[in-house]
Amino acid sequence: MELEDVLARVESRLEALGLSAHAASLAAKKPDAIRNLRRAVKNGDRRGITTETLVALAPVLKTTAAWLLEGVGGPEPGNLVKVVGRIGAGAEIQPEFEQIPAEGLFEISVPFSIPEDAIAFEVEGESMWPRYDSGDVIICWRRGEEASSVVGREAAVRTHDGRRFLKRVRRGAIAGTYDLESHNAEPIRGIEIAWAATIQAVVRADQWKRTSHADRAYPVR
């Protein structure tokens, strides 16, 4: 860790956010943190700041401790995720009939950092109520997982014949097949799964809305 580089990153976030060093330090409950860092850099003192202090400063500076410490990632944590299609909770969704543009249907912002691999689907149907409502958005990882690893869990799945479902996955009666269970609908049995991903987060239907831009949506405040 080079203190000069750490200070440069801290200063850049202060400038971007229009914060004073004193205000940021107070908000992080580390009243002298940035002043001490500046002093350490000036005096060549290698003990200028601790990782614990950077962790406290990061949310105030709207960045990550990893970026402040080593410049890892971007200065701002990613919190936009593309909704790349709809997923059936009762309804059958066949992607080829949705005519989804390559960039997805729209984007939503979420109040937490997410990896670049994140994608989202809008829930359609009521078979997973009360766990999920139609209009909720689920977030999962694009790379997916082996179907066998999501057995017993709720997951987004794409079947071998191209349908997309939000269901709880169980092993099927025949090796290599799976049963898809709902909370209030009959199970779908003997399905071959081409892609599956565990649900990582849910944004409720009343917590996001589309803006005037067709390709973007944001949480309701």
Supply the range of the domain harboring residue 37.
Answer: 3-70
Residue 206 placed within a domain? yes
> Tens-digit pLDDT profile for the chain (221 aa)?
588 999 999 999 999 889 999 999 999 999 999 999 999 898 887 776 788 888 889 888 888 787 888 887 667 666 778 888 888 876 666 665 555 666 677 888 776 667 777 889 999 888 787 888 888 999 998 888 999 999 999 999 999 988 899 999 999 999 999 999 988 888 999 999 999 999 988 988 887 765 434 444 545 44
Residues 57 and 159 in one domain: no
What's the CATH number where 62 sits? Answer: 1.10.260
Residues 207 and 119 in one domain: yes
What pLDDT shows up at residue 205? 85
Between CA 10 and CA 17, with CA 11 as vertex, the angle to 5 degrees is 90
| Distance in angstroms (rounded) separating the CA atoms of residues 100 and 108 | 16
Question: Looking at the structure, do residues 110 and 63 belong to the same domain, yes or no?
Answer: no
Domain count across the chain: 2
Q: What is the pLDDT of residue 174?
A: 96
51 and 111 fall within a common domain: no
**Token output for 214:** 């067709």
In a domain, 75, yes or no: no
CB neighbour list of residue 157: distance below 8 Å, 6 or more residues apart? 147, 150, 164, 165, 166, 167, 169, 178, 180, 191, 193, 195, 196, 197
Q: Is 32 part of a structural domain of the chain?
A: yes
80: Cβ contacts below 8 Å, ≥ 6 apart: 107, 108, 109, 110
Contact 194, 160 (CB under 8 A): yes
CB atoms within 10 A of CB 217: 21
- Do 143 and 90 sit in the same domain of this protein? yes
**DSSP category for residue 185:** S
The Cα 34–Cα 10 span in angstroms is: 8
Same domain? For 13 and 90 the reply is no
Q: Give 12-49 as a 3 state SS string.
A: HHHHHHCCCHHHHHHHCCCCCHHHHHHHHHHHCCCCCC
Q: Please give the Cα distance from 75 to 57 (Å, whole number).
A: 13
